[in-house]
Amino acid sequence: MAVSAGTIVLTEPGTPKPGLRSFPISCNQYSWITFYERAGKDWGKDLDASLEAFASSGIKAYEPAFNNPKEVWDLLPLLIRHGLEMPSVYVSSVLHRSGEAAKSISDVLAIAKVAKSAGTRIIATNPNPIQWGSGKNKSDEELTEQARNLDLLGAELKKQGMTLAYHMHDVEMRAAAREFHHMMLSTDPKHVSLCLDVHWAYRGSGNSQVALFDIVKLYGKRIIELHLRQSKDGIWQETFQEGDISYGRLAATLHALNVKPLLVLEQCLEKDSPITMNAVQAHQQDLAYCRSVFGSQYH
């Protein structure tokens, strides 16, 4: 029996209709975390109040990060209260070590099962590096193991009627982007799609639009989700706007490929980012600019 309120419909897991329906422009939790930290606040301390602010920006969909199924169950009533959809979720994984991969896959699938009941169709995962902040790259053997497990996870999610979207940061772009390309070339496109984090691809390749658009040329048909962030002179800005990356070109390129990914705003702050507005004001501008670039097909 379905229970509905706002824009979310909670149902028992079943077989969805083929394809992904059109979702509104979404926003990842991480950008809000960085704005709240700058203001001396904790995004997760009062999540009800935080999501009220999120909804007041006009953004209708939310991409949270989860560690376990309980966090999903705890969030669902708040999404309903604030009229927010959750078309995608972000889950970390450890897939390069066989001893940990089985548990990680099991954890992701458990989270996905609960999230699916709220309409989630995309699970984005960024397999953990050997150590965050280190310069150590995975061995060829570890990359082979990771690709095998990534494909396995994608195949299992497909059985649930969901899509796995491989996400990367700058780490995967090191050493001729060997980790990123191996994940794409060694997995079945039927099992693993791409969540292209546009700015990390740009920054990870030495602030190169050439490298970014080469990725789109190679794997554009596999892009199911975009993480959107902009910089000027290499520095993340407060709002998604004109800057280092030609998002107009990206929108036109994807349109020519007949690819309509889920758009997820993630305009985060860093040390030298401008300080001129609060989180709600910034995200209102993000939403307006995103619509102007990607067109009326997005709402």
User: pLDDT tens-digit profile of 275-292?
Assistant: 999 999 999 999 999 999
Query: What pLDDT shows up at residue 3?
Result: 34
Report, as ranges of residue numbers, the positions in the chain whose pLDDT lies below 50.
1-20
C-beta neighbour count of 17 within 10 angstroms: 7
Distance, in Å, from the CA atom of 86 to the CA atom of 8, rounded to the nearest integer, reads 8
For tokens 């889950």, what's the residue?
A: 91
* Residue 135 CB burial class (10 angstroms; 0-12, 13-18, ≥19): exposed
| Beta pairing, strands 3-5 & 8-10 | antiparallel
Q: How far is CA 240 from CA 118, 228, 270, 271, 286, in A?
A: 28, 8, 14, 17, 5
CA distance 261 to 12: 26
Residue of 159, 69, 153 whose CA lies nearest to 118: 69
Give pLDDT, residue 21.
54
Q: How far apart are CA 239 and CA 202, in angstroms?
A: 17
Q: Residue ranges of the alpha helices (H) in the chain?
A: 29-38, 47-56, 69-81, 98-116, 140-159, 174-185, 198-204, 209-219, 247-256, 279-294
State pLDDT tens for residues 59-99. 999 999 999 999 999 999 999 999 999 999 999 999 999 88
pLDDT of 297 reads: 67
